[in-house]
Structures are given as structure tokens and as C-alpha cells.
A and B are shown apart, each in its own frame.
Chain A
Amino acid sequence: MNTDAIVTVHDLTKHYDGVAAIEAVSFSIHKGEVVGFVGLNGAGKSTTINLMLGFLRATRGTVTLFGRTVLPETAHTTHRRIGFTSGDMSLFTNLTGSQYLRFVAGRFGMRDNTRLGELSAMFDPQLNKKIGDLSRGNKQKIALIAAFMASPELVILDEPSSGLDPLMQQTFVNLIRQESQKGTTIFMSSHYLNEVLDVCSRILLIQNGQLIKDIPSDALLTGGGKAVRLVSRYEIQPPSDAQEVTRLEHPQGFEVSFVYRASAAKLQQWLGGIPQLIDLSITDHTVEEAFDDLYALETKGQKHA
């Protein structure tokens, strides 16, 4: 266990009626890190976040925030230092946006409304309308402002930008960058991969309730490479640097596909040596595909194990 960490999750497990929602999840987050938490629906992202905030009681394992163990009965003692929102967060529909924000400000003991003003200028929410009359995107703007307005040391976000239009998503990304520069620690789950890669320095990948990867986001960004597919009359041996190689028979000969992450010059040189090339396509291997590969590899690995 790392004692310098702001967040330490150790062997965290939650069972519902004997079924594991998450199993033995462990990670830690240090001050100033922006960590993305990625996984498919039902992978266990929200359960992990709910345990981190003390909404749920762990079946096994611990969550430590700012050196304090989080339990449902005492979780509020750390909440003054935490901003939180989720994409499906419910707000009090009878209140207007400004009434709700005043209520939240009161809970954080806020005296200075400068940050609230800055965030309102950034997101331009409809504060004078009843929350119940607002669109999902406008509600989400208010929830985001509430999460950041007390300048918390740690912000936990669960699918934070769902419901925002593309312009507001960009505003949100800018806000995360701004907060990151100020040294705020951010932990966010998201379905928007590009958004996570845009702002996060580290990515945790969760699948079927288990943490399967903890990698720097650079590893994915630079690891995109090129997706190469070619057809030749003769069987071809792919280059030694090729990854994720697939060989198929083709009506006109043989087809081979692979991901190539080495230098373009080497690939060009290898292509020059292909006899009787019938078809060739070279496209960017997108980050999404890289993620899919990662998932596929892990799933395959789990099956083999």
C-alpha cells in the first residue's frame, strides 16, 4: 500500500446476493494525477466509484481517501475535500439551478463565490429555471459546476459528460485540463475514449469486475499504429514487427492483416518485396481499435487461463 497516495483501493470486492460486481480491485492515485477509468457497461466502474464514496459497504477490501478508511457511516468526513458527479445524477427538481448550487455551497461552507462565477461563465447554465424543467444537458452542467465549485482536492466523476453537446464536452475537457494544471486530482470514468485520452495521464481498464490494465495513456496514444491489409497470389510472411496478425485464404490467393507500429520506411521496404500484390490498404489503427485489441487479448488470456 502506498502511503503517499490520496486514493488507495485495496482488494476491493462487492458482492450482490453472492454475485461479484467487482472482485479484488486494487489501485492507488497520487496527488495531481488525472486517471481515467474505462470499461464496458456493467464492468464495475460505478460500483467501484460508489464504494470509493461510501455509498456502498464493501464485501471485502478497503478504500482509503486522504489516509482515512471510507465506510458508509463515516464517509462524509472526507466529502468536504471531494467533488463528485455522475452522468445519471439526480438533482432536486423543485429547486432552481441557483437554489441547488447555493444549497451545495452551504454544505461545503463556501464563503467565496468566485469559482462559482467562473464555472457559470464557462458552462452558461440556466440557473433561474427549475431543475425539473431543464434538459439533461443543462442539468449535467449544473451537476458539473456543483462538483468543481468548492475547489475540491479530489474530483470523482462517473460518466461526467454524458448528455453534454460536443461544444460543452470540449468545455468540460478544458475544465479538466485547467484543474489538472492547478494540481487537482481527478478520477473519471467515461465511455468517451477520446475524452479520457485527451485529459488523463493514466488509464485503468476494468472488465467483468476485475482491473485488467493500469497503463499510462501515452502507451495507447502512441501505440495506435497502422492497420495493414493486403492480398497476394502467394502466401506472405508478415514483417517481424507485425502485431495481431491474421491470415485468411482469399479467392485470388492469400490475405494477411496486421497492425504495424514500427517505422514507415521499414514497412515500405517490406512492401516492395511482395510478389504479385493484388490489393493493399493501410489505415490508421484507431485508439478505439487499440482498446478493442486490449479487451480481446485480455478476454482471450482469461479464457486460456
Chain B
Amino acid sequence: MRNLFLKTLYDKRAFIVGWGLGLGFLGYLMTIFYPAFHQDSSLDQLIRSLPPALQGLVGNLNDLNTLPTYLGSQLFNIRIPIFISVLSILLSVGLTVGEESAGLMRTLVGLPLSRTRILMSKWWAIVTICLIATMLTAVGIECGLLAIHETLDIMVLLRLSGMMWLLAVALATIIFGIGLATGRRGLTTGLGVLIAVGSFLLTTFSVSVDWLASYEKLSILHYFPAADIAQGVFDPLDLIVYGALVIVFLVGGWLFFCRRDIR
């Protein structure tokens, strides 16, 4: 444990195991539920009877017909963003303002470690943790597929998992950048929740609420159209947007973090 990156992963080992297994189990459960969603017509009728405003929360009914679109719509479009949002907020707040308010950032800055290296080590740890969580989700899906004797094109799973990872990294980096730039726990957590919950509500309700549709591009989830990706539609612009968000918030966080007071 001679470097900060490994120390951070070691510190977060319980978090990694807990979230990795949790997301893996979620992937497994959602996959083994597919036959029920696919075959049960009464479920279709129940969903169709919901008011239009709530249908965005349960996804497009036509997407339940095939396994890739079912997973894209029900797992990656609805449930994963919720869990990824919570994971990103907890992880980024913990590694930035959480450590600073506990006095640990001061301990690190007092060592022969540049602030840039502290920032990059922690960010790589976030990227790695998000990757582990994504991979275990994919493993959970594969286990589910084995259980229901179904198969899924590996490229579809890779694309969905890759975008899930990018979403997690982008959201976590936004909160990470805010945390390092400000050092304020309340502000960072508040903005993190606002971005995550706001994006979720904007994307889900814009399906039914007309005037929200024009603002939907502001949602971070707009760039993760999982149902489309599951059908093989892939827009490189989504990658660019997530990449740009990561760069902007990482550089912004770095500029402020290197120069500000550490309490």
C-alpha cells in the first residue's frame, strides 16, 4: 500500500464489495424477471392502465418484447441510473469533502504529495470502483441469462455496460470536481442530489410532460439512451458529452483545489 490510489481502494473495500455485489444481484434479478415481463400479458395491461405521466417511470411497453430492449429499458434506463446516482454521490462526497471534514485531506496534503497527485489518485480510484461495479452488474446479467437459458449479443452487453460506466464516471466526476473545488460538504451533496434527482425526473417525466421535453437535454441521463443502445443505435455525441463533462469538472476541480485553503 505504497501509493494513494491503492490505499484509497483498500479504504473503500467494503464499499466496493457491497455495491459490486448489490449491482450484480440487481442485474441477475432483472434478467431472471424477463420471462415474467415477456410472457405475462396482464402485466402489459396493468402498465397500459397507468396515467401517461407515470408511464415514463416504467418504460416503453414495446421494449419488453425482446431481451436486449427489456434490459435496456427496465434495467439500464430506469434502475441503474438510480443506483449509480446514489453510488456516485456517496463515493465522490466521501473521497472529497467527507475526508476533508474528517481532517484527512489535511493529513494527505501535509505529506510529500502534490495536490494534483492527490486529486488524480482519488479520481482513478473512482474510475476503478465504477468499473468494478459495472463489471459485476454485467456478470450478474450473464448469470441471470444462464438461469433463464437465454443469450444476449456480447456487443450489446458491452455497449450498455460501457455507457453505464461512463455515466457513473461522469456523474461521480461532476460531484468530485465540485467537492474538491469548494471543500463544502452541504453544497457538494446538495448539488450532487440536485443533478442526479433532477436528471432522473427530467428524463422520466419529459416522456409525458410536453414542456419538459425541450429541457431534457440538460439531463445527464439524456446521453445514456439505453433502449436505443440495446437496439444497436449508438450516437458518438453521447460519448463526447460524457467525456467533456469529465474533463471540465476534473480540470475545474483541479484549478480550485490546488489553490484553496484546506481546513
Contact = CB atoms under 8 A, between A and B. Distances in A.
Co-assembled chains A and B: yes
B3 interface: yes
B236 interface: no
A55 B100 CA distance: 12
Given A90-B103, A102-B2, A57 B110 contact: no
A95 B107 CA distance: 14
A94 B11 contact: yes
A90 B100 CA distance: 10
Interface in B83-139: 102-104, 106-107, 109-115
Interface stretch (B52-60, B141-149, B223-231, B254-262): B254-262
Contacts of B111: 76, 79, 104, 107-108
B250 to A, nearest CB: 16
A92 B108 CA distance: 10
Contacts of B103: 88-90
B78 to A, nearest CB: 34
A103 B4 CA distance: 8
A72 interface: yes
Given A55-B109, A79-B112, A90 B102 contact: yes
B113 A107 contact: yes
A90 B261 contact: no
Interface in A11-27: none
A56 B11 CA distance: 27
B106 A108 contact: no
B113 A95 contact: no
A76 B115 contact: yes
Given A76-B113, A76-B114, A108-B112, A90 B106 contact: yes
B1 interface: yes
B7 interface: yes
B259 A57 contact: yes
Interface in A28-63: 53-57
A89 B11 CA distance: 18
A213 interface: no
A73 to B, nearest CB: 4
Category for how many chain B residues contact A: 20 to 34
A301 B4 CA distance: 51
Given A103-B1, A107-B113, A92 B258 contact: no
B87 to A, nearest CB: 19
B110 A53 contact: yes
Among B7, B109, B110, max chain A CB count under 10 A is at B110
Contact of A72 (B4, B113, B259): B259
A105 B258 CA distance: 24
B261 A72 contact: yes
B234 interface: no
A233 B107 CA distance: 63
Given A94-B10, A107-B111, A55 B2 contact: no
A46 to B, nearest CB: 11
Among A53, A54, A91, A107, max chain B CB count under 10 A is at A107
A73 B115 contact: yes
Nearest to A56: B261
B112 A72 contact: no
Given A73-B258, A90-B106, A102-B1, A95 B114 contact: no
Among A72, A95, A99, max chain B CB count under 10 A is at A72
Contact of A106 (B2, B104, B107, B110): B2
A193 interface: no
A119 interface: no
A135 to B, nearest CB: 17
Interface string B235-263: 00000000000000000000000111110
B7 A95 contact: yes
Contacts of B262: 55-56, 72
B258 A72 contact: yes
A266 interface: no
Given A90-B103, A94-B10, A104-B111, 15 more contacts: A55-B110, A56-B262, A73-B259, A76-B109, A76-B111, A76-B112, A76-B114, A80-B112, A88-B103, A89-B106, A92-B7, A92-B11, A99-B1, A106-B2, A108-B112
Interface of A: 53-57, 72-73, 75-76, 79-80, 84, 88-92, 94-95, 99, 102-108
26 contacts: A53-B109, A55-B109, A55-B110, A56-B262, A57-B259, A72-B115, A72-B259, A72-B260, A72-B261, A72-B262, A73-B115, A73-B259, A76-B115, A79-B111, A89-B103, A90-B107, A91-B107, A92-B11, A92-B104, A92-B107, A95-B7, A95-B10, A95-B11, A103-B2, A105-B2, A106-B2
Shortest Cβ-Cβ A-B pairs, 6 listed: A90-B103, A106-B2, A80-B112, A79-B112, A73-B258, A76-B114
